[in-house]
Structure 1
Amino acid sequence: MAVIDLSAIAEFEIEARNGKPTALYQLGLAYSTGQGVPLDLITAHKYFNLAASRGVSEARDWRSELASQMSPTEVAEAQRLARAWIAQSHQ
């Protein structure tokens, strides 16, 4: 797996705010592996959920894999965060 550097994370965050599906997916990868950001499965699931909703099929697979490692409460929190992100006009 390629190493994700901090400058790439910053660019992905900008692109994600504009709803770019590949940036959402890349942020999911970063948070799921702790590359360039702290490891955070809830945040990773949120980004994979958002990317999957925008047609990134790989994000669906990663989201499912993460969900199997998370508690139902953690999955619910990730889903809540994804809904909040959408509500903040990041459509």
Structure 2
Amino acid sequence: MARFDLQNLENGHIAGAAQTDILFEMGIMYATGRDCSVDLVAAHKWFNIAAIKGCDRAAKLRAEIGAKMPKADIAVALREAREWMTTH
């Protein structure tokens, strides 16, 4: 399985569409437990960030995951996404 270089992603070295695809794939990775444990909070966070950057598929999956999550977990995911967007 491919691993993403988060340092390049976080430092902005990956251009627009490619960055959005990586953010979406991060959501998929955490939603499915591919190469990690399933973490719906992290999945929601990455789908939210990808959706903000224009990925319609991420917005749809974020909504599907959100429907299965407690409100407290959604709040954590939204806060983490906001913090990531603020620093990157």
User: What range is the shorter-chain TM-score in?
Assistant: 0.7 to 0.9
Give the CA deviation at 1:16: 3.4
2:4 corresponds to which residue?
10
Q: Which runs of 5+ in 2 are unaligned?
A: none
In the TM superposition, residue 66 of structure 1 has moved relative to its aligned partner by 0.3
Instruction: Report the equivalent of 2:70.
Output: 71
Q: TM-score w.r.t. structure 1 length?
A: 0.83
Stretches of structure 1 lacking an aligned partner (at least 5 in a row): none
Contact 1:15–1:23 (8 Å) recurs in 2 = no
Deviates more, 1:75-84 or 1:19-28: 19-28
Query: How much does 1:51 deviate?
Result: 0.2
Query: Identity of counterpart residues, as a percentage?
Result: 33
Counterparts of 2:80 and 2:9 in 1: how far apart (Å)? 14
Structure 1 stretches of 4+ with a deviation exceeding 4 A read none
